[in-house]
Amino acid sequence: MGHSQRIKKRLIIFVVYVALISVIAWAWTWLFRPAPTCFDQIQNQNETQVDCGGVCGLCQATYKAPNEIEIKSTQLVYGGVNAYDVMAQIFNPNAEDGASNFDYTFELKDDQGRIIATRSGHEFILPGETKYILETQLESQTIPKSIVLQLNNPTWKHFVGGYQEKPALNVYSKHYERIADGVGFGVATGLMVNESPFDFVNVKIKVLLFDSTDKPIAVNSTEVQTVLAGESRDFRLVWPTAFPGEAARMETEAEADVYHSDNFVKKYFPNSQF
């Protein structure tokens, strides 16, 4: 074999070796590459721009900031001696944006506009949802003349996946009656059924009583833990002290923090970091 043939043979072996190494390296990279997310600085999945569009939600250039949560009404309810319960109905006008968290503060004011009691907390709201915020036992030696509700610092989440309405947490067989014998003034009972395909760690049940003129006369709430899809749970709420008026109608509202439900988040917030 001549010198030139040996060089040619070595060159072919070298080229084959380099090609083989390249194929192995490419296969290794492809097999063990990280799953695409909305935070990897790469335009992948069905994104229209880097980390936005498609499953990652609207891009900043086309994203319209959500409208503010609206306060529909605020009302004061007797809660006992020198104690008051407050209720507010709020509405989220956004069809595809919900707030996973926002701060609220109730202020009770006297006839001169001075603050005589406050209560703060945190809530959430779904797209297009109307819901109640309840707080009980705000103490004041002075009779309140007005209520102010402030909503601040919403954390907005854009929904994908065809979201249309909140999970079906329905209340059946709801009933209120005065307690004739035993401890307490009145009791509300019902059956809460999770008719959604989602499991929830916590479900909050709110009960509002109205008189014959549709004026709220009492409010209360309770929580039910670990409610699976399709599960039914009884609840019982007791008012320990008397309140004025006669209950003619009982309204209930059952809700779950879907923003912390794994199966709900996976459907409507793919690749989200909560």
Domain count, the chain: 4
Half-sphere exposure of residue 225, counting CA atoms within 13 Å on the CB side? 0
Give the structural domain span for 8.
1-29
Q: Can you say how many angstroms the Cα of residue 257 is from the centroid of all Cα atoms in its chain?
A: 4
Give the domain-ending residue among 138, 165, 192.
165
In this structure, are 221 and 134 located in the same domain?
Answer: no
Q: Are the CB atoms for 78 and 217 separated by under 8 Å?
A: yes
Is 256 buried (19+), middle (13-18) or exposed (0-12) by CB count in 10 A? buried
In this structure, are 52 and 17 located in the same domain?
Answer: no
Q: Are the CB atoms for 50 and 41 separated by under 8 Å?
A: yes
The answer on pLDDT for 204 being more than 80 is yes
Rounded CA-CA distance 163/267 in Å is 9
Give the domain-ending residue among 144, 165, 186.
165
Q: In this predicted structure, what is the pLDDT of residue 225?
A: 92
- Tell me the pTM: 0.74
In this structure, are 160 and 188 located in the same domain?
Answer: no
Q: In this predicted structure, what is the pLDDT of residue 274?
A: 43
- Confidence band for 209, pLDDT divided at 50, 70 and 90: very high
| Residue in 84, 156, 151, 106 with CA at minimum distance from that of residue 126 | 156
Rounded CA-CA distance 190/114 in Å is 40
Q: Can you say how many angstroms the Cα of residue 146 is from the centroid of all Cα atoms in its chain?
A: 29
The mean-pLDDT minimum among 22-31, 181-190, 196-205, 265-274 falls in 265-274
Residue 171 belongs to a domain with what CATH number?
2.60.40
In this structure, are 102 and 189 located in the same domain?
Answer: no
How large is the C-alpha radius of gyration of the chain?
29
In this structure, are 55 and 77 located in the same domain?
Answer: no
Residues in the chain: 274
In this structure, are 100 and 175 located in the same domain?
Answer: no
Q: Encode 148-168 in three state secondary structure.
A: EEEEEEEEEEECCCCCCCCCC
- Which residues have C-beta within 8 Å of that of residue 202, sequence separation ≥ 6? 223, 224, 225, 226, 227, 256, 257
Rounded CA-CA distance 111/109 in Å is 7
The answer on pLDDT for 68 being more than 80 is yes
pLDDT tens per residue across span 214-257: 999 999 999 999 999 999 999 999 999 999 999 999 999 999 98
In this structure, are 23 and 52 located in the same domain?
Answer: no
Residue indicated by tokens 């968290």: 101
Residue indicated by tokens 């309840």: 134
Give the domain-ending residue among 134, 165, 196.
165
In this structure, are 56 and 133 located in the same domain?
Answer: no
In this structure, are 92 and 195 located in the same domain?
Answer: no
Rounded CA-CA distance 167/255 in Å is 8
In this structure, are 174 and 271 located in the same domain?
Answer: yes
In this structure, are 217 and 179 located in the same domain?
Answer: yes
The answer on pLDDT for 152 being more than 50 is yes
Q: In this predicted structure, what is the pLDDT of residue 7?
A: 67
Q: How far is CA 230 from CA 83, 238, 252, in A?
A: 39, 26, 19
In this structure, are 73 and 42 located in the same domain?
Answer: no
